[in-house]
Amino acid sequence: MSIKKNYGFNLLNSLLNIVFPIVTFPYAARILSPEGIGEAQFIFSLAQYFAILAAFGIPIYGVKAIAEVKHNKELLSKVTTELLVILSMLVAVVLGVYSLVIINIPDLNANWPAHAIAGSIIFLTVFNVDWFFSGTEQFKILALRSALVKGLSLIILFTFVKTQQDTLEYLFFLVFLYIGNYLLNFLFLFRSIKISFAKIEVSRHFKPLLPIFAMIVATTIYTTLDTVMLGFLNDEKEVGFYTSAVKLAKVSIPVLTSMGVVMIPRATKYAQEKNMAGQLSLYGKSFSFLVLLAIPMSFGIFLLNKEAILIFSGPLFLEAVSDVRILAFLPLLIGLGHLISFQILIPHNKNRSIFYATLIGMFVFLILSITLIPSMGSTGAAIANTATELIVTIGYCIFVPSHILKALPWKAIYKALVSVVLFIPIVFSLQELLKGNPILIFSLSIITCGTSYFLIQHLLFKEELIKEIMITMKKKIYGS
């Protein structure tokens, strides 16, 4: 399947990942309040951390390993079986450790039924084989499966979460989003491979997996345990504020990273073939795409923080406005980090470099969190998160080969920054004229700012990606 078709299906999946929280979180937030959201998110994040540990880096390593053998069905089945065996062993170990943690910490043991529900995502991690479908470039399956599970999840949310006491029901809704995908994954998997334990070589994967796992351990400290640390060092209400701000700041990230997910198998292929021209072309397209969208998204979130919180979470979450301002540029930082690590460093076998960058980020996050969270709550967590993502992304850049780094179209950043300058007078004017109407301010700002941005990019800077989009749309409309 072509990159365009793969990207189309992956974009559909990414758009679903954007639309879904926009529909579900405002409903849940208004019913459960910051405390209810905070309680459910704390429990879920703790289990999610253990699930990530159980996965042992296979969601990252697996894409590359599968991409290398996807054209040989026998090898494809062999590698898949080996990775599933590793997953099964680790899930058993990690689930045991998780159970001991819940049993031996009184505050957690007091709510053990909720932790048991959340723990099901650890048990079913063995069925999480997205890496197989990404490596074989079967993005259509991932998109359609995601749509089905999200549809069923909506039914669960709107049917069972009705009052402020329905925290357990909301937790099950969060868990089902994962386990629904996992179970469907496995059903589709057997259409492509045959599980066979003959002549498998499990041990050969541990050497390349260990650096990735180390990187994952470091990364999840500041991407998943941030919520858990906030819950331990402060309270559930602060977790609720932080959750609202993070979901809002990160809502656009699936679209920004969707291009990268599609490019990983192709980048791996070009790296193996030492096709530098092909690599630079892929990196250039991904970088231009990321910058074109991430900078206006980040500025938009920063300028419309209050309106966004009122629409997305409701007036009870207004204390999260300052957190949103701090987290507003996460789309750009995480997008760049994803591009550099997954498309450049991993295909070039620089897993150790990624580990060093994330290890530094982990220590920065821990120091800032322990220092700031007890007194500043969610705002302290937001500062720690943003500072860490900035440092990690800079660290990634340091390890990129200089000829690749120089070849990236850095002028795209300058063009995007110039193009967003008009956002400031547009948003401030609408906020002054339409006081008390956050929906109208937000809607008109998005339309006006978006139009001005893409006109400047197209007419002044002659942006190639916009030209390509317009040509594609013209062909679709006129059939030529």
3-state secondary structure the chain: CCHHHHHHHHHHHHHHHHHHHHHHHHHHHHHHHHHHHHHHHHHHHHHHHHHHHHHCCHHHHHHHHHHHHCCCHHHHHHHHHHHHHHHHHHHHHHHHHHHHHHHHCHHHHCCHHHHHHHHHHHHHHHHCCHHHHHHCCCHHHHHHHHHHHHHHHHHHHHHHCCCCCCHHHHHHHHHHHHHHHHHHHHHHHCCCCCCCCCCCCHHHHHHHHHHHHHHHHHHHHHHCHHHHHHHHHCCHHHHHHHHHHHHHHHCCHHHHHHHHHHHHHHHHHHHHHCCHHHHHHHHHHHHHHHHHHHHHHHHHHHHCHHHHHHHHCCHHHHHHHHHHHHHCCHHHHHHHHHHHHHHHHCCCCCHHHHHHHHHHHHHHHHHHHHHHHHHHCHHHHHHHHHHHHHHHHHHHHHHCCHHHHHHCCCHHHHHHHHHHCCHHHHHHHHHHHCCCCHHHHHHHHHHHHHHHHHHHHHHHCCCHHHHHHHHHHHHHHHCC
- Do 209 and 56 meet the contact criterion of CB atoms below 8 Å apart? yes
Whether the predicted pLDDT of 1 surpasses 70: no
Whether the predicted pLDDT of 472 surpasses 70: no
Whether the predicted pLDDT of 9 surpasses 80: no
Residue corresponding to tokens 């690749």: 404
Whether the predicted pLDDT of 200 surpasses 90: no
Q: Look at residue 274 in the predicted model and tell me its pLDDT.
A: 79
256 versus 99: the higher-pLDDT residue is: 99
- Do 34 and 241 meet the contact criterion of CB atoms below 8 Å apart? yes
Q: Look at residue 476 in the predicted model and tell me its pLDDT.
A: 57
Q: Look at residue 475 in the predicted model and tell me its pLDDT.
A: 65
Calpha distance 12→336 (Å, rounded): 21
Q: Look at residue 479 in the predicted model and tell me its pLDDT.
A: 56
Whether the predicted pLDDT of 388 surpasses 90: yes
- Share of residues in the chain with pLDDT > 90 (%): 57
Whether the predicted pLDDT of 187 surpasses 90: no
User: What's the pLDDT band for 15 if we cut at 50, 70, 90?
Assistant: confident
Whether the predicted pLDDT of 415 surpasses 80: yes
- Share of residues in the chain with pLDDT > 70 (%): 94
User: What's the pLDDT band for 473 if we cut at 50, 70, 90?
Assistant: low
Q: What is the pLDDT averaged over residues 300-304?
A: 96
Return the minimum-mean-pLDDT range out of 140-144, 162-166, 237-241.
140-144
User: What's the pLDDT band for 2 if we cut at 50, 70, 90?
Assistant: low
Provide φ and ψ at 328, rounded to 5°: -55, -30
User: What's the pLDDT band for 366 if we cut at 50, 70, 90?
Assistant: very high
DSSP secondary structure letters along 416-445: HHHHHTTHHHHHHHHHHHTTT-HHHHHHHH
Whether the predicted pLDDT of 371 surpasses 80: yes
Whether the predicted pLDDT of 480 surpasses 60: no
Tokens of 5: 């078709």
475 versus 319: the higher-pLDDT residue is: 319
350 versus 36: the higher-pLDDT residue is: 36
- Do 357 and 338 meet the contact criterion of CB atoms below 8 Å apart? no
Q: What is the per-residue pLDDT across 225-271, written as a single tens digit (0 to 9) for each? A: 899 999 999 889 999 999 999 999 998 887 787 766 666 667 767 77
Calpha distance 324→251 (Å, rounded): 12
User: What's the pLDDT band for 332 if we cut at 50, 70, 90?
Assistant: very high
Q: What is the pLDDT averaged over residues 205-226?
A: 85
Return the minimum-mean-pLDDT range out of 49-63, 179-193, 296-310, 372-386.
179-193
Q: What is the pLDDT averaged over residues 6-11?
A: 68
Q: Please compute, for residue 460, the number of CA atoms within 13 A of its CA located in the half-sphere on the CB side.
A: 13
Q: Look at residue 284 in the predicted model and tell me its pLDDT.
A: 87
User: What's the pLDDT band for 314 if we cut at 50, 70, 90?
Assistant: very high
Which has the closest alpha carbon to 327: 346, 312, 342? 312
Q: Which of 222-231, 345-354, 367-376, 471-480 has the highest average model confidence (pLDDT)?
A: 367-376
Whether the predicted pLDDT of 463 surpasses 70: yes
Whether the predicted pLDDT of 21 surpasses 80: yes
Q: Look at residue 74 in the predicted model and tell me its pLDDT.
A: 87
Q: Look at residue 350 in the predicted model and tell me its pLDDT.
A: 85
Whether the predicted pLDDT of 14 surpasses 90: no
Q: Look at residue 305 in the predicted model and tell me its pLDDT.
A: 95
Which has the closest alpha carbon to 292: 446, 462, 422, 472? 462
Whether the predicted pLDDT of 193 surpasses 60: yes
Q: What is the pLDDT averaged over residues 44-48?
A: 94
Q: Look at residue 167 in the predicted model and tell me its pLDDT.
A: 95
Q: What is the pLDDT averaged over residues 202-219?
A: 86
Say if residue 410 is exposed, middle or buried (CB neighbours under 10 Å; 0-12, 13-18, 19+). exposed
Tell me the pLDDT of the chain averaged across its residues: 89
Q: What is the pLDDT averaged over residues 451-461?
A: 92
